[in-house]
């Protein structure tokens, strides 16, 4: 991390669209998105077969880049901190050097053309900062207009980096001439996709890959359409959302027979992808089938975010090429807390006490280990709503957590963390609260237990002085006695905990007594 705030703009000159993301990086707060913009240039239009960039598309691209640079400057990005990479269509074009020279002459921007392997590597950098990658190997794939990148990796590193020329614009131009798509064209696409993915499938089989993570506009459109079909609310961020093979098949069988006019009416489908979604659906269907997957996770981070992360890494510590395991969940929680000017010592001490209570009372609440981690993060973030206002800060904490773009968590996990933080004070969980009422029974049970434990831990840290060091438990019949070990006289902490113990007593159906050890 740098000691000063640094703003960086990353521009991706893709086959379908030009994108720019502007971020700010600073110590503690991590990387915060400032703005993003997209322009559907379709620089690859017609170039897949001719290998020549279209003059009109090049002119539109230069205009878009001029606008991007103006926006970056308005956001305080220094010219030397604007990075731009070109991918498949420009990479393969015979007149790419002429286009890059014109960009340099008219905008001052130096665009670097990256290889397919480099593109896959940047995508990996982005995805691993957005979705938690564990000890087992995952398949990462990014569907672009000209190419599709495949990565196989776990938390120790990468086993495959591969780029294949099967992007949706390329496939549409090469294989699709009917609307709706003909069965013969579907069959040709399926055979072509299957042949292009042979090496990735073999590697995935050898490494026992059973989960895929998708990053691209195509994947996000698919996730949004599936969400719409299933009545799920449309959220700005889809990060870590999941769609199953069964859900995808329902969408596939509904959308593939439709013509473009009917597809255009489909909720969740970007108007600019009405045609390109067809080869995208067929590709995802083949990925499900030949990799034998049951679900796909969506990553909001991909190439552009990877570009930024790689740029910052090289800028801060260019000699450090060592792979290391990232705890993106904890990192993301701490960055959100820092952005909200949290009381770190208080949050960490409450978390420590809450985890001691979780462990000691495990025979009574019966929650499994993953909920322990969610309790820790809810405890760390329970007070961040004070950044908005002390009054009703528990509700503000819930809102910030839900909308804080925490990385590495599923939407359900974020919901639970936010609810637990919301119920650390004032009224307990209630069916009268709309957001709580729509949770599933197991999620409600988890929120009840975890918020009860957090209330108790927060009471034991009432003085914000880290007085209570340890909590041990003894049980006699229906009575649980908490023995607290203080540094000083613990009257204020025991008094506060007594006021806040009723929820956990109700949930566990036990009487709780609190006394100094």
Q: What is the CATH number of the domain that holds 150?
A: 3.30.420.150
245 with 98, same domain: the answer is no
- Total domains present in the chain: 3
Look at residue 307 in the predicted model and tell me its pLDDT: 95
User: What per-residue confidence (pLDDT) applies to 2?
Assistant: 45
User: Is the same domain home to 402 and 500?
Assistant: yes
Q: Same structural domain for residues 296 and 308?
A: no
505 in a domain, yes or no?
yes
Please give the structure tokens belonging to residue 219.
């994947």
Residue 385 CA to residue 407 CA, distance in Å, equals 19
Give the whole-angstrom CA distance, residue 428 versus residue 448: 8
Backbone angles phi, psi at 509, to 5 degrees: 55, 45
**Alpha-carbon distance 172 to 153, whole Å?**
30
pLDDT for 28: 79
Judge whether 339 lies within some domain: no
CA distance linking residue 269 with residue 227, whole number of Å: 11
Pair 151, 60 in one domain = no
Q: State whether 365 and 427 are in the same domain.
A: yes
**Per-residue pLDDT, 321:** 47
DSSP 255: H
The pLDDT of residue 1 is 42
- The range of the structural domain enclosing residue 70 comes to 6-115+304-318
Is 360 inside any structural domain?
yes
| Cα–Cα distance, 287 to 271 (Å, whole number) | 24
Domain end marker among 300, 329, 352: 300
312 and 391 co-located in one domain: no
Is residue 327 assigned to a domain? no
pLDDT of 146: 93
Sign of CA dihedral 218, 45, 13, 306: positive
Q: Does residue 325 lie in a domain region?
A: no
- Residue 433 and residue 448: Cα distance in Å, rounded? 13
Q: Which two tokens stand for residue 91?
A: 């990479």
Q: Domain with 67 in it: what CATH number?
A: 3.30.420.40
Q: Are residues 78 and 188 in the same domain?
A: no
Residue 157 and residue 135 in contact, taking contact as beta carbons nearer than 8 Å: no
Buried b (16+ CB within 10 A) or exposed e, 130-153: bbbbeeebbbbbbbbbbbbbbbbb
User: Domain for residue 349, yes or no?
Assistant: yes
The per-residue pLDDT string of the chain (517 residues; one tens digit each, 9 = 90 and over) reads: 444 789 999 999 999 899 999 999 987 788 889 999 999 898 988 887 789 999 999 999 999 999 999 999 999 999 999 999 999 999 999 999 999 999 999 999 999 999 999 999 999 999 999 999 999 999 999 999 999 999 999 999 999 999 999 999 999 999 999 999 999 999 999 999 999 999 999 999 999 999 999 998 999 999 999 999 998 877 778 999 999 999 999 999 999 999 999 999 999 999 989 999 999 999 999 999 999 999 999 999 999 999 999 999 877 655 554 445 568 999 999 999 999 999 999 999 999 999 999 999 999 999 999 999 999 999 999 999 999 999 999 999 999 999 998 999 999 999 999 999 999 999 999 999 999 999 999 999 999 999 999 999 999 999 999 999 999 999 999 999 999 999 999 999 999 999 999 999 999 999 999 999 8
SS3 166: coil
- CB hemisphere CA count around 133 (13 angstroms): 28
Shared-domain flag, residues 308 and 292? no
Residue 118 to residue 142: CA distance in whole angstroms:
13
Residue for token digits 């409450």? 350
Query: Same domain, yes or no, for 108 and 226?
Result: no
**pTM of this structure:** 0.87
For residue 391, tell me if it sits in a domain.
yes
Can you give the CATH number for the domain in which 357 is found? 1.10.3210.10
For residues 88 and 144, membership in a common domain is answered with no
- SS3 assignment for 18-64: EEEEEEEEECCCEEEEEEEEEECCCCCCCHHHHCCCCHHHHHHHHHH
Same domain, 366 and 282: no
Residues 254 and 377 grouped into a single domain: no
- Residue 326 within any structural domain of the chain: no
Residue 318's pLDDT is what?
55
């Amino acid at each position: 991390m740098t000691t000063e705030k640094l703003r960086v703009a990353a521009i991706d000159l893709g086959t379908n669209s030009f994108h720019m993301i502007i971020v700010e990086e600073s110590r503690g707060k991590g990387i915060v998105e400032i703005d993003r913009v997209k322009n559907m240039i379709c620089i690859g239009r017609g170039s897949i077969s001719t290998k020549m960039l279209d003059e009109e598309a090049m002119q539109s691209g230069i205009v878009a880049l001029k606008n991007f640079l103006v926006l970056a400057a308005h956001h305080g990005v220094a010219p030397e901190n604007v990075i731009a990479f070109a991918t498949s269509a420009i990479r393969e074009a015979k007149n790419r050097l002429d286009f890059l020279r014109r960009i340099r002459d008219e905008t001052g921007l130096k665009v670097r053309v990256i290889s397919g392997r480099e593109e896959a590597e940047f995508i990996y950098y982005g995805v691993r900062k957005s979705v938690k990658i564990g000890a087992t190997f995952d398949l990462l794939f990014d569907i672009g207009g000209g190419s599709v990148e495949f990565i196989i990796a776990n938390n120790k590193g990468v086993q495959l980096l591969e780029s294949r020329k099967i992007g949706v614009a390329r496939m549409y131009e090469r294989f699709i001439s009917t609307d709706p798509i003909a069965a013969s064209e579907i069959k040709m696409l399926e055979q072509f996709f299957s042949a292009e993915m042979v090496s990735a499938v073999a590697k995935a089989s050898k490494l026992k890959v059973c989960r895929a993570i998708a990053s691209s506009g195509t994947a996000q459109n698919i996730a949004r359409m599936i969400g719409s079909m299933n009545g799920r609310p449309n959220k700005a961020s889809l990060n870590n959302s999941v769609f199953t093979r069964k859900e995808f098949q329902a969408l596939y069988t509904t959308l593939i027979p439709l013509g473009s006019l009917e597809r255009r009416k489909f909720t969740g489908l970007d108007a600019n992808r009405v045609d390109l979604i067809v080869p995208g659906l067929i590709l995802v269907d083949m990925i499900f089938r030949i990799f034998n997957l049951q679900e796909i996770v969506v990553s909001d981070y991909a190439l552009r975010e990877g570009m930024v992360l790689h740029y910052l890494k090289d800028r801060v510590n260019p000699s450090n090429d060592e792979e290391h395991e990232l705890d993106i969940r904890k990192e993301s929680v701490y960055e959100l807390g820092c952005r909200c000017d949290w009381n770190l010592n208080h949050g960490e001490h409450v978390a420590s006490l809450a985890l001691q209570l979780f462990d000691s009372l495990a025979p009574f609440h019966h929650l499994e280990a993953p909920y322990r981690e969610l309790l820790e993060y809810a405890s760390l973030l329970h007070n961040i709503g004070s950044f908005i206002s002390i009054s009703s800060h528990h509700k503000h904490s819930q809102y910030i957590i839900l909308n804080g773009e925490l990385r590495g968590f599923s939407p359900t996990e974020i919901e639970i963390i936010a609810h637990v933080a919301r119920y650390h004070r004032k009224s307990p969980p209630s069916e009268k609260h709309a957001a709580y009422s729509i949770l599933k029974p197991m999620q409600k049970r988890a929120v009840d237990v975890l918020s009860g434990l957090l209330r108790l831990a927060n009471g034991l840290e009432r003085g914000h002085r880290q007085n209570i060091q340890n909590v041990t438990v003894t049980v006699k019949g229906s009575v649980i006695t908490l023995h607290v070990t203080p540094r000083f006289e613990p009257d204020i902490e025991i008094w506060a905990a007594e006021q806040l113990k009723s929820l956990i007593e109700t949930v566990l159906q036990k009487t709780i007594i609190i006394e100094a050890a």
